[in-house]
C-alpha cells in the first residue's frame, strides 16, 4: 500500500484531553442501574433519542414522539423517505450488540441496513467524487473514490492495532471516517453509530447515554469543529469537543440517577416532553394509576427541578427542566 493510500491520523494528547478522560471515567463509575425493568426502559429510550437526534442532524423532520411510535411498529404521517430512515435506524440500533467495531465488513453491513431503500449503492463505498457543502459553498472535498477502499482499510488497521484508550479511539475513528467520507450518503449517521458502538464496548453504561442527542443540541459547533480540524490538519479540536459532549451526556444521566426517579416518574417526564399541555388526569389515565399517585410524582419532580409549571393551573403548561 502506497503512503498516499493510507490515512494519516494526526492528533496529540495534551493535558486538557487527559483531564477530560479522567473526569469522564470517574463519572461513569457513578452510573448504577440495578433494576432490570428500569434498565431495559432506559436502554430503549436512549436508543430512540439517539436515532431521533442523529437523523435530525441530517434534516429528518420527524419528532421524537413519531420516532418512538415507529420504533414500536406504529404508523405515523410522514414522507416515505423519512419514515424509512427511522425504520432502518431502529433496526440497526436494536442490533448494535451484534456488530464488531474492529470489522470493516460489519461496517459495510451496518451501512446496508441504515441506507436500505434510500440509495442504490448501500453497503458499498462510493465510486464518485464527494464534496461537503454549507448551502451553496463547498467547504470540503473528500478524497478521490479510487483510494477510499485503501483509506478505510488503513483506518481499520489502526483501530485494530492501536493501544489508545477506546473512548478516545471512538472519537478518532469518528473524525477520520468523516474525513474519508466513504459512502454516497449516510456518512454522518454511520459515523455516529459506529462511535456509539465503540463507546458501549468501552463501558456498557453508554447504553443508557444518548450521545447523539448532545451532538444534535450543539449541531452548529459539531460542524464548525470538524471544519476547524480540516483547516488545522489534526483532530484535536474534535477530540476535545466530543469529550465535552460525552461528559455533558453522562452528567444528565447521573443527575437523573441521583434523584432515583422511578418508572412512573420517567413516564410522566416523557409524556410531558411530548405534550406540554397534558393534564394530570390524562396522565393518570394513560399510566393507569390514580390521580393522587400522579400528583405525588409531580410533587417529587417539581421539588427536584425536573419539571415546572408555567402560568396558571388552568391556562398554563408544563416545562421540562431536565430530561
What confidence score (pLDDT) does residue 255 get?
74
- Rounded distance between C-alpha atoms, residue 316 and residue 283, angstroms: 16
In CATH terms, the fold of domain 3-258 is Fic-like fold (1.10.3290)
What confidence score (pLDDT) does residue 288 get?
94
What confidence score (pLDDT) does residue 148 get?
97
What confidence score (pLDDT) does residue 259 get?
64
In which element (H, E) is residue 120 found?
none
What confidence score (pLDDT) does residue 246 get?
98
Task: Give me the residues of the chain with pLDDT under 50, please.
Answer: none
Query: How many helices (H) does the chain have, and how many strands (E)?
Result: 14, 4
CB within 8 Å of 49: residues ≥ 6 apart:
64, 210, 212, 213
DSSP assignment string, 130-193 = -EEEETTEEEEEPPPGGGHHHHHHHHHHHHHH--S-HHHHHHHHHHHHHHH--SSS-HHHHHHH
Give the single-character DSSP code of 277: T
The CATH 1.10.3290.10 portion of the chain extends over 3-258
Place of cell 396522565: 283
The CATH 1.10.10.10 portion of the chain extends over 263-320
What confidence score (pLDDT) does residue 258 get?
67
3-state secondary structure of 3: helix
- Rounded distance between C-alpha atoms, residue 262 and residue 294, angstroms: 12
What confidence score (pLDDT) does residue 9 get?
95
Average pLDDT, the chain: 92
pLDDT tens digits, 53-66: 999 999 999 988 89
pLDDT tens digits, 88-119: 999 999 999 999 999 999 999 999 999 999 99
CATH 1.10.10.10 for domain 263-320, yes or no, is: yes
Amino acid at each position: 500500500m502506497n503512503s498516499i493510500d493510507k490515512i494519516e491520523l494526526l492528533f496529540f494528547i495534551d493535558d486538557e484531553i487527559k483531564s477530560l478522560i479522567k473526569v469522564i471515567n470517574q463519572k461513569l463509575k457513578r452510573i448504577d442501574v440495578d433494576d432490570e425493568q428500569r434498565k431495559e426502559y432506559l436502554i430503549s429510550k436512549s436508543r430512540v433519542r439517539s436515532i431521533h437526534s442523529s437523523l435530525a442532524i441530517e434534516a429528518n423532520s420527524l419528532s421524537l414522539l413519531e420516532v418512538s411510535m415507529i420504533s414500536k411498529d406504529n404508523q405515523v404521517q410522514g414522507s416515505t423517505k423519512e419514515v424509512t430512515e427511522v425504520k432502518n435506524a431502529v433496526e440497526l440500533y436494536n442490533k448494535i450488540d451484534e456488530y464488531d467495531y474492529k470489522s470493516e465488513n460489519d461496517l459495510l453491513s451496518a451501512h446496508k441496513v441504515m441506507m436500505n431503500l434510500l440509495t442504490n449503492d448501500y453497503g458499498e463505498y462510493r465510486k464518485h467524487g464527494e464534496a461537503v457543502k454549507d448551502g451553496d459553498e463547498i467547504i470540503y472535498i473528500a478524497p478521490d473514490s479510487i483510494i477510499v477502499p485503501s483509506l478505510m482499510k488503513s483506518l481499520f488497521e489502526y483501530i485494530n492495532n492501536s493501544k489508545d484508550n477506546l473512548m478516545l479511539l471512538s472519537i478518532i475513528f469518528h473524525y477520520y471516517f468523516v474525513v474519508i467520507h466513504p459512502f454516497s450518503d449516510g456518512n454522518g449517521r454511520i459515523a455516529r453509530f459506529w462511535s456509539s458502538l465503540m463507546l458501549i464496548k468501552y463501558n456498557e453504561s453508554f447504553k443508557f447515554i444518548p450521545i447523539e442527542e448532545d451532538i444534535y443540541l450543539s449541531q452548529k459547533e459539531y460542524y464548525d469543529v470538524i471544519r476547524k480540524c480540516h483547516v488545522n490538519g489534526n483532530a484535536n479540536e474534535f477530540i476535545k469537543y466530543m469529550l465535552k459532549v460525552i461528559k455533558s451526556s453522562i452528567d444528565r444521566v447521573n443527575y437523573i440517577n441521583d434523584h432515583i426517579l422511578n418508572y412512573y416518574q420517567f413516564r410522566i417526564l416523557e409524556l410531558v416532553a411530548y405534550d406540554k399541555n397534558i393534564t394530570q388526569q390524562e396522565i393518570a389515565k394513560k399510566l393507569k394509576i390514580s390521580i393522587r399517585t400522579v400528583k405525588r410524582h409531580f410533587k417529587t419532580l417539581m421539588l427536584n427541578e425536573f419539571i415546572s409549571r408555567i402560568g396558571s393551573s388552568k391556562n398554563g403548561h408544563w416545562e421540562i427542566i431536565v430530561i
